[in-house]
Structure 1
Amino acid sequence: MTDLERKLAEALRDQAGSVTPNLDAAWAEQQRRQRRPPRRRKVAVWGAPLAAVLVVLTSVLVATKVNTAPEPVMPAKPGQELVIAKPLISPNVSHNGEPKALTDFVGQTDTWTSYAVEATDSTGKGVLCVEALPKGATHGGPQSNFGIESPSCVPVSGDPVRAGYVGKNGGPLPAGKAVFLVGPAVQVLRLYDAAGDLTQARPVGPLGAWRLFLADFEPGSPPVRFEISPAQEAHPASR
């Protein structure tokens, strides 16, 4: 064997020793891995139950907040309920005094004036009547009334708002206006529609033993509630 062949054989033996698998070391590593699970497996084993517990706790907390949360407080509606009787059209009544002018409005051809008048029906009960007559006339007779709903009368009852009439198209009081008969001590009359919007009624003056107030409102949103201020509240200095 030549020197070259001998050196080649020695190199091959050295390389064979380095690539030959160490079976003992490999077996020991395999046993070690089986005895202790990888870190990722441990995380998976503990992580899944922990996530489930967190989900349950979160659900319990949310349910507790929903069940124990106070119910929303609804805003109180202002004033008292306003009850307006259905009017009788052109009833047989007897006027008890002079009509009180409320407002003017324009008809198809002429200008008219709405009036309120205290009256008595055929049974002797008091009524508040609203009629429309040509402007400038207070006693024009039945033929002078505006339309077929003049006069319209509502019974007088209750306190402090004793009667009320809401105007409409074709009626003796135009749409967007309302008249109220109240007790003699009432100085301020505040009205509210269904949405709670305020309308301040204007005093017209006395009608017999009572007082008249006239109010403007949005057509289609008539007053449904009211508040009053009696005389002693309107004039504190007179106490």
Structure 2
Amino acid sequence: MRVLALTWEFPPVITGGLGMACYGMVKALLKQGIEVDLIMPAKEAVYFQMRKVEDADDPPAVFTDPGKRTSQTFASAREFRRLVGSPVSVYYITGKRPGLKHKFVDIQQSSPFDCLFEVLSDQDYLFRQVRDYTETAVDIGSNLDFDVIHAHDWLTYPAGMVLKKLTGRPLVAHMHATEFDRAGGAGDGRIHNVEYIGMEYADKVIAVSRYTANIITEKYCIG
């Protein structure tokens, strides 16, 4: 079995608990003999192909650019960080990339993709980052062979949804923290929309804790 993991961070590139949580899950899956292909924001078109338990500590990278299609195992955290950049700069891509709109042409007419495309069209910095990641993840993921999509938190839900639609593979939406948790209140309605439609469109939803599960049930009426 092979899992396509979509995440915003992975050690040593971490800004909070998400990266370490993903690391622990990837390592546990590898111990069970389950293969993992991981896509995270990076400076180049690359995904991380993990087949052995030790790969979680030194992720082998596969470059998808035709001129760089090679596999390379990073011998140190320093080399890994060089490729993916810092938790801030890694996400910043200048200029508008219109390609994503074309990918939605056949699917945006039906809800929930209407709402998703509207959010991804927002020009706020954070949503531009999510749009760039979604486009890259869809470009890479649609050419990979996998059995299930595991999307970690709302930032990766759009990519997971599009890949589910394009490949027919089941989507697992993993909620590590809701917008209610991060904002300490109502929060950003756009993020709530993505969280809701991502979980609603997913085949399975995993909550990081019973507390988070209760929020999902009470606030989003899912479960």
TM-score after normalising by structure 2: 0.27
Determine which structure has more spread, i.e. the larger CA radius of gyration. 1
- Which structure's residues are more often helix, by fraction? 2
Higher relative contact order (CA 8 A, sep 6+): 2
- Which structure's residues are more often strand, by fraction? 1
